[in-house]
Amino acid sequence: MIKIGILNLQGAVSEHYDITKKAARNMGVDIVVEPVRYAEDVQTCDGIIISGGESTVIGKLIFERGIDKVIKENNIAVFGTCAGMVLLGKKTDFDQPLIGLMDISVKRNTYGRQKDSFESPIEIFNQEYQGVFIRAPALEGYDKSKEDIKVLSVLDDEIIAIQQGHNIAISFHPELTHDTLIHEYFINEVLNQ
């Protein structure tokens, strides 16, 4: 049975936990979903979700605890949302620790400050989806020479969702909707790897 860990360092963890369980129920698959805090817990996961929050704080704790190493050594699939997208990148416009699993560079706070947060319908996997953007990043760019990179969604010329191999980065907050579409997609990726 596969295990999905919700990285429980800071940010919207319980919402991701709930919607991942709901996604698995909808799919009729039996998986373990567990909040994880330390490298040894992460090591037992097939996939992990990094929530939104403060990417500087989450990144610092990831490095202090050696979680980045465990993810890389065990080739664990990562689904990063918002701050999680920042952390998956190789480069950002701030000086901060990044896991760097994806060949993307990320622009933090693309849409401005907290007060500029918004909701907007977006299109992803050929379906309409309600995007919740909270101090959201977007992509500055990605390495177009990498054949395993797939852009998943664009909003007003900004790339807001992208996949490379089994890693997925999105700039909005699917855990704050009732729609399990994107979590189901990630679970499928982990099941099929």
| Residue nearer to ligand GLN on the CB measure, 42 or 83 | 83
Residue type, 87: L
| Cα–Cα distance measured from residue 151 to residue 137, given in angstroms and rounded to the nearest whole number | 15
| H-run or E-run covering 23 | helix 13-27
Closest distance of CB 164 from ligand GLN, Å:
19
Residue 54 binds ligand GLN (CB under 6 A): yes
CB 13, CB 51: distance < 8 Å? yes
Query: Would the CA dihedral through 20, 16, 13, 21 be positive or negative?
Result: negative
Residue nearest to ligand GLN (CB): 52
CA separation for the pair 127, 155 (Å, rounded): 14
CB of 135 to ligand GLN, least distance (A): 4
Q: Which is nearer to ligand GLN, 105 or 109 (CB)?
A: 109
Minimum Å distance from CB 1 to ligand GLN? Answer: 30
Q: Does 134 bind ligand GLN (CB under 6 A)?
A: yes
Output the smallest distance, CB 141 to ligand GLN, in A: 17
Distance CA 131, CA 121 (A): 6
Per-residue contact track with ligand GLN, 75 to 104, x per CB under 6 A? Answer: -------xx--x------------------
- How are strands ordered across the β-sheet holding 3-7? 32-36, 3-7, 47-50, 77-81, 167-170, 158-164, 149-155
Residues 148, 163: Cα–Cα separation, whole Å: 8
Catalytic residue numbers, as ranges: 82, 173, 175
Query: Does 131 help bind ligand GLN (rule: CB under 6 A)?
Result: no
53 binds ligand GLN (CB under 6 A): yes
Binding site for ligand GLN (CB under 6 A): 52-55, 82-83, 86, 108-109, 134-135, 137
